[in-house]
Amino acid sequence: MRFLRQSLIGVVLASLALALLVWAGAMVGGAIQTRMSAEKRVPPARERVFAVNVVTARLDTVVPVLEAFGQVQSRRSLELRAAAGGRVIWLADSFEEGGAVSEGEVLLRVDPADAKAALDRADSDVLDAEAEARDADRSLILARDDLTAAIEQADLREKALKRQQDLESRGVATAATVETAELAAAAGRQAVLSRRQAVAQAETRIDNAATRIARVKIAREEAVRGLEDTSLTAPFDAVLSGVTLVEGRLVQANEQLAMLVDPAALEVSFQVSTAQYVRLLDERGRLIAAPVKVALELAGTDLVAQGRISRDNAGAAEGQAGRVIHARLDSAAGFKPGDFVTVNVDEPALALVARLPASAIDSGGTVLALGPEDRLEAIPVSLERRQGDDVLVRGEGLEGREIVVTRTPLLGPGIKVTPQRRDAPVAAAEPEADLLELTSERRAKLVAFVEANSRMPAEMKARVLAQLGERKVPAQLVARIESRMGG
């Protein structure tokens, strides 16, 4: 009985379990049918909102800065050449590379023996010519006296002829006597002609003597100049460069010995495009004397000089585009001819322009401005200048509008944005330079390189060495020095 009872209970439980499974399957099948037969519901779409940085556009008068690269050169430089050949017997102490000389200072002397001998010969020729001139004067005096005597004798013979002719008319003298008197008178006239010819020759001799004196004096002046050419003097205050001469060397005439460079008359020449050149012209087409700023990048600091544009080249260089402009430097301490520098030129001021980041404008010449309900609007602008990472633009309705700083492909007119306003100016300040702790070997290499740099001014070198002596050194300073070391 117990077995039968337990068997019935098991059958009942199995039947209940099977019934539950059938009921559950029916419920699942019904739910699936209901879900498949029901209409699909689309969730409502939400508009995507972008966060953008904006800056307020302010119209103002801005002075654009034109940036170019140029080379420092001296407005006054001169090649020192030997005017006379020979052996150099004396050199000035300042006649060396980088030596400073003053105007009128004697720089060198060439052996003057040959020049002195030529001058002595010229002096002797002058004495001979003067003696010849005196002798010619005496000869002229004697020739004139001889002519006077010949004239007097001819007059006497003419009187004798007239007397004989008078006697012949009275029958006292014979024809032979008259003929003899006529021959004597003719001989007297011939003697006068001979004496006149002698006077003319004496005058010609005087003229030749005067010409010879002038010629020998010219030769003497040339000999004096030749003697003066044996010494070379400085025509202006300058510094010597490219010296290739030592005492005792033989030099030839017109041989280049060195270069004289005036360090106080420096200018910078730089090349700009034709469009940039046109912006530096006034209404009459003349180049304006715009102020310039010249900077030479050095380790740790920069050399800066001010100046003004003075002129431009007469023509375009062959094979080059643009224009070459020259600017005089007012005070250029530390600069040397040949330095490659950065030149910043102040262009004429532009009125009613806004300074914006360069990333705010697209290739089509439009910017995105914040409109009603924080939606973007496209404003057309004209690009006036590029100033590094900024641009100067001009457009209608730009004053006071909030402009998107950075354009992306996701942004466009009508897009809703969340503006992120900045109180700082458009151009972000440069972060402070990081400091580095140097090893002893690295610090020693940097110090040795700075001490060996002869082009760095003493004050700047001392300042850089002081920075390198600190426990922590600016990373920018280390990077600049190592870039020049090749490290």
Blockwise average pLDDT, block size 10, the chain, 487 residues = 73 81 82 70 69 90 91 89 88 88 90 90 91 89 88 85 80 78 84 88 89 92 90 90 86 89 90 90 90 83 87 79 89 85 91 91 90 90 90 90 89 89 49 69 84 75 82 82 70
CB 46, CB 414: distance < 8 Å: no
Alpha carbon distance 349, 70 (integer Å): 23
Q: Domain 350-421 is of which CATH architecture?
A: Beta Barrel (2.40)
Distance between CA atoms of residues 255 and 222, nearest Å: 20
Query: Which among 484, 74, 122, 63 is positioned nearest to 242, based on CA atoms?
Result: 74
Residue 62 pairs in a beta bridge with 350
CA-angle at 423, arms to 417 and 429, nearest 5°: 115
Amino acid at 129: A
The confidence score (pLDDT) of residue 178 equals 76
238: β partners: 101
DSSP code at position 422: -
Angle between helix 440-452 and 458-468 (nearest 10): 180
Task: For residues 294 and 126, give the distance between their C-alpha atoms in angstroms, rounded to a whole number.
Answer: 61
Separation between Cα atoms, residue 214 and residue 191, nearest integer Å: 35
Q: What is the pLDDT of residue 299?
A: 66
CA atoms within 13 A on the CB side of 198: 18
Q: How far is CA 207 from CA 139, 214, 264, in A?
A: 13, 11, 55
Q: What does the block give as tokens for 188?
A: 């007297």
pLDDT for res 123: 92
C-alpha distance from residue 435 to each of 7, 121, 447, 472, 475 (Å): 91, 79, 17, 5, 5
Residue type, 462: A
Name beta bridge partners: 59: 354
How far apart are the C-alpha atoms of 82 and 98, rounded to whole Å? 19
* pTM score of the predicted model: 0.58
Cβ-contact 89, 247 below 8 angstroms: yes
Q: What pLDDT is recorded for position 431?
A: 44
Architecture of domain 265-346: Beta Barrel (2.40)
54 pairs with which residues across the strands?
404, 421
Residue spans of the domains in the chain: they are 76-111+230-260, 116-206, 265-346, 350-421, 435-485
DSSP state of 19: H
In a 13 Å sphere around the CA of 224, the CA atoms on its Cβ side amount to 7
Give me the pLDDT at residue 309, please: 93
Decide: 82 and 255 in contact? Cβ < 8 Å.
yes
Q: How far is CA 61 from CA 89, 384, 394, in A?
A: 66, 12, 11
The SS3 of residue 164 is helix
Q: Distance between CA atoms of 348 and 65, rounded to whole angstroms?
A: 9
- Residue 296 token pair: 């030479």
Distance in angstroms (rounded) separating the CA atoms of residues 235 and 224: 19
Specify whether the CB–CB gap between 67 and 344 falls below 8 A.
Answer: yes
Please tell me the distance from the alpha carbon of residue 217 to that of residue 129, in angstroms, as a whole number: 9
Using CA atoms, how far apart are residues 80 and 85, in angstroms rounded to an integer?
A: 14
CA angle 57/383/317 to nearest 5° reads 140
Fold of 76-111+230-260: OB fold (Dihydrolipoamide Acetyltransferase, E2P) (2.40.50)
| pLDDT reported for residue 331 | 81
Paired with 261 in beta bridges are 77, 239
